[in-house]
Structure 1
Amino acid sequence: MKYRLTALLSVMTALTSTSVLAFQQDENRYAVPASATAQDFIAVFKELNGEHPGVRKGHARGVCAAGIFTPTDEAQKRFASPLFDNVSLPVTIRFSMGGGNPEADERKGPRGIGIQFDLANNQKHTLAGLTSPLFSGSTPNHFLGLLQWNVKLMRGEATREDLEKYFQANPSMLRSIEWNKGRTPSAEYTSTDYYGIHAFWANTHDQQREKFRWQLVPDGGHEYLTEHDIESLPSSFLVERLEKRLEEEGQISFAWEWTIGQENDPTNDPSILWPNDREKVNVGRVTITQVGGDACTPINFDPNRVAPGIQPSDDPVLPIRSAAYAISFGKRLSNQ
C-alpha cells in the first residue's frame, strides 16, 4: 500500500511539473520582446514589406499637400508658444497609408497624417497622427512583438490562434483592438479624425504647464467605406478623391483640438484613453489649399520635433519613433 501511494505521488508530481513547465513555456512564448530598438523596427519592416529603396519605411504610400494654420484667440491667450503668435503659418501636410508597402491597398488599413508647421527663424513643429487614438500596447516592445508575430504568420510559422494568445497575454493591446472593432477605413483622407496618440506638455502664459493630447477633426464631416465600397473600389482612389474635393471646394479644413489632461491622467501609456469628460480646446484650424508636389520629400515627420513652449511627455514610444524615423529618413535620402 505504501509503495502504491508513493508511486501515485510520484506520478502526480511529475504531471504537475510537466504542467508548470508547459505553462512557463507558453507564457514565455507569448511574452513581449525583452528589448525593442529602432533598428529592430527597421529590420521587421523590411521583413514585412520587402526592399523599397528611396521609400519611407513606414507610411510608404502617400500624397503631399500644403496649406495654412490659423490659431484661435483662445490658444493665443492661453498657451505660450510661437505656434500661436501669428495670424497664420504655412504648413506642409502628408496623407498616407499605414505600413511600408508603397502600393498599399487603399480599401484596407488605417490612414496617417504628417504636418510640418513652418515658424519664424527656421523653427518647426511636427505632427504625426493616425486614424486610431490608441497605440497597440503600453510600450514599443508590445508593438515590436506584434510585428514579429505578423512575420511568423507570413512565413507560415504561426497561426491566428498564436496571435490571439499574444494579445491575451498582453492585455494593454486589447484596448486598441476593441476600439477598432467593426470600424471601416475612411472614404477620403479628409473625412476622418486623426489622433496624435501620445501626450505632450504645453506652457501657459501664467507660467504653468498643461498636459494634452491632440486630435484633428474634419470640418466637412466623417465618411467611411461601406462593405460594398471595399469590394467594388479599385485599390487606389484616395488621391483622386482628395484632388476632386479640393477642386470643387477650393479648400479643406480640420479643427485642431487639444484634450487637456488632469493630474491622474497617464502620460506614459499610449494604450489608455483619457476620460471623455476632459476639457477640449480648439487651438486652431489647418486648411489645405494645394495637393501634390515633392515638398514632403525632404521632411522627416518626427513628432518629437516641437515648437518652443511644447514638450514631449515621458511616453516610452516617443523616443523609439524618433530614432526609427531618423534611420528611415537617412536610408530614404540615400536611396536605400
Structure 2
Amino acid sequence: MTTPVSGAAFINALNNTFGRHPLARASHPKGVCASGKFTPAASLNKLLASPLFDGRALPALVRFSVGSGNPNISDSARVVRGIAFTLTGGRERYDLIMLSEPVFFAATTASFLSFMAARIADPATGKPDPAKVAEHNSRYPDGVKQPALIAAHPPTRSFLTTAYFSNNAFCFIDASGKVTTARIAAEPVLGVQYLSEAEEKDALKSYLSADLAQRLEAGPVQFTLYALLPADGDSLVDSTAEWIGAERIVMGTLEIQAMAAAESCDTHTFMPLNLPKGIEPSEDPILAARPGAYAVSVTRRT
C-alpha cells in the first residue's frame, strides 16, 4: 500500500530546490495577471451538461507565469510557461491550470519528490549534480520527457504565442450520464512563435510581461480551447505520457482582454480541483495530490 504524501512534503521539496521566498507561490512565483472572458462553443454540449456553460460569456481571471520556484528567474530561461484561469458564473467556478508542454515531469508523487531532490544545487557549483539527475532518471524514466521537450526549442516569443496543455485528464459528464475522459489544450490564435537564437540570447529578464502589456494595448488576443479525446493506449492516469489523441472537440474561446492588477492574482488561488458540475477529476495521482500542496503554499505565503 502506497503511503500518502502530504501537501507539505511537496512544498518542502520545492522550497529545498528553489529556496523559500516569503509571500511568493512555491511554484511559478513569477507571473502576471490579466482579465478576459471565455465564450463556450456549442460543441461543448457534446461533452458535458453544466449550468456554468449555458452559452453566455464568462468572466475570466487569468495568470500567466514562468516555471520553476524562483521568482527572479529570467523569462528567457528554458523552462515551462504556465497559464491559470478561473471562470465564474452563478454558484459555479472552474479553475484550469496548464503548462506549455504536453507532458508533466512526474507520473507519481514519489517521482515528483525525487525529481526535486535531484535538482538541489551543489554548493560547490551552484548547479544540480549531474550524477544525481542521472540517478533519478534511471529510477524514474517518466521524468525524462518534459525536460527533453523544453530543451528542444527556444523559449516562446510571448505568453500569447504559446500553446498550453492540461497534462492531467478530466472526466466530462453529459446530460445522459455518459463519461468522456479528455485532456485540454489551449491553442493561440496568433500561432506558436519562438524566439530566434539571437533574441533568446539578448532577451530582457522580464520581456514576457512587457510583451503582454504591449500586445493587449492593441486589442484582445484569443486562444481556442480543445478537449482532446484519447486514442487507444493513451494513459488516463500518467501525466508524463504524451497522448497520440483522437478526436478534438472545441470547448470555446478564451479571450485575453486587458492587464489586471497584480493583487487580483496575488490574493487568488487557482485550485486544480475547483471543478463545475459536469467535470470530475481522473484518477491521475498527481492531480489528486495537487490541492493539498496548493493549500499549504497558500497558508505559507499568507
Query: TM tier, shorter chain?
Result: over 0.9
The residue aligned with 2:255 is 287
Q: Report the Cα offset of residue 161 of structure 1.
A: 2.9
In structure 2, how many angstroms separate the alpha carbons of the residues matched to 1:174 and 1:110? Answer: 14
The residue aligned with 1:208 is 178
Instruction: Render the CA deviation track for 1:293-335: whole Å, top value 9, x for unaligned.
Output: 02212321111110111000100001221101011112222xx
Q: Report the Cα offset of residue 158 of structure 1.
A: 6.6
Instruction: Render the CA deviation track for 1:264-283: whole Å, top value 9, x for unaligned.
Output: 5322111112214x100111
Q: Per the alignment, do residues 199 and 78 of structure 1 end up closer, same or farther by CA in structure 2, a change over 3 Å counting? A: closer
The residue aligned with 1:44 is 13
In structure 2, how many angstroms separate the alpha carbons of the residues matched to 1:151 and 1:77? Answer: 46
Q: Report the Cα offset of residue 205 of structure 1.
A: 2.6
Question: Scaled by the length of structure 1, what TM-score is found?
Answer: 0.83
Q: 1:117 aligns with which of 79, 87, 94?
A: 87
In structure 1, how many angstroms separate the alpha carbons of the residues matched to 2:204 and 2:236? Answer: 40
More helix by share: 1
Q: Report the Cα offset of residue 76 of structure 1.
A: 3.0
The residue aligned with 2:198 is 228
The residue aligned with 2:114 is 145
Contact residue 45 and residue 174 of structure 2 kept, 8 A: no
Q: Per the alignment, do residues 309 and 143 of structure 1 end up closer, same or farther by CA in structure 2, a change over 3 Å counting? A: same
Unpaired runs of 5+ in structure 2? none
Q: Report the Cα offset of residue 35 of structure 1.
A: 6.8
Q: Report the Cα offset of residue 83 of structure 1.
A: 3.4
In structure 2, how many angstroms separate the alpha carbons of the residues matched to 1:169 and 1:309? Answer: 38
Contact residue 76 and residue 85 of structure 1 kept, 8 A: no
In structure 1, how many angstroms separate the alpha carbons of the residues matched to 2:176 and 2:61? Answer: 31
Give the greater-gyration-radius structure (CA): 1
In structure 1, how many angstroms separate the alpha carbons of the residues matched to 2:64 and 2:7? Answer: 23
In structure 2, how many angstroms separate the alpha carbons of the residues matched to 1:253 and 1:95? Answer: 14
Q: Report the Cα offset of residue 262 of structure 1.
A: 5.0
322-331 or 288-297, which deviates more:
288-297
Instruction: Render the CA deviation track for 1:209-233: whole Å, top value 9, x for unaligned.
Output: 1000001100011111222112112
Matches within 5 A, 1:232-271: 232-248=202-218, 250-261=219-230, 264-271=233-240
Is 1:75 paired with 2:44? yes
Q: Secondary structure at the match of 2:83?
A: strand
* One-letter amino acid of the structure 1 residue matched with residue 179 of structure 2: R
Contact residue 170 and residue 182 of structure 2 kept, 8 A: yes
Q: Report the Cα offset of residue 166 of structure 1.
A: 2.0
Contact residue 36 and residue 144 of structure 1 kept, 8 A: no
Q: Secondary structure at the match of 2:161?
A: coil
Q: Secondary structure at the match of 2:227?
A: strand
Q: Percent identity?
A: 28
In structure 2, how many angstroms separate the alpha carbons of the residues matched to 1:155 and 1:282? Answer: 51
Instruction: Render the CA deviation track for 1:87-128: whole Å, top value 9, x for unaligned.
Output: 21001000011122222111112111110001212x210011
Matches within 5 A, 1:24-103: 36-103=5-72
* One-letter amino acid of the structure 2 residue matched with residue 179 of structure 1: L
Contact residue 185 and residue 225 of structure 1 kept, 8 A: yes
Matches within 5 A, 1:133-212: 133-151=102-120, 153=122, 159-212=129-182
The residue aligned with 2:188 is 218
Q: Report the Cα offset of residue 152 of structure 1.
A: 5.2
Q: Per the alignment, do residues 228 and 286 of structure 1 end up closer, same or farther by CA in structure 2, a change over 3 Å counting? A: same
Is 1:320 paired with 2:289? yes
* One-letter amino acid of the structure 1 residue matched with residue 133 of structure 2: L
In structure 2, how many angstroms separate the alpha carbons of the residues matched to 1:165 and 1:64? Answer: 38
Q: Report the Cα offset of residue 162 of structure 1.
A: 2.9
Q: Secondary structure at the match of 1:63?
A: strand
In structure 2, how many angstroms separate the alpha carbons of the residues matched to 1:158 and 1:224? Answer: 27
Contact residue 69 and residue 286 of structure 1 kept, 8 A: yes
How many matched pairs? Answer: 298
Question: Scaled by the length of structure 2, what TM-score is found?
Answer: 0.92
Q: Per the alignment, do residues 206 and 54 of structure 1 end up closer, same or farther by CA in structure 2, a change over 3 Å counting? A: same
Q: Secondary structure at the match of 2:160?
A: coil
In structure 2, how many angstroms separate the alpha carbons of the residues matched to 1:315 and 1:45? Answer: 20
In structure 1, how many angstroms separate the alpha carbons of the residues matched to 2:30 and 2:242? Answer: 28
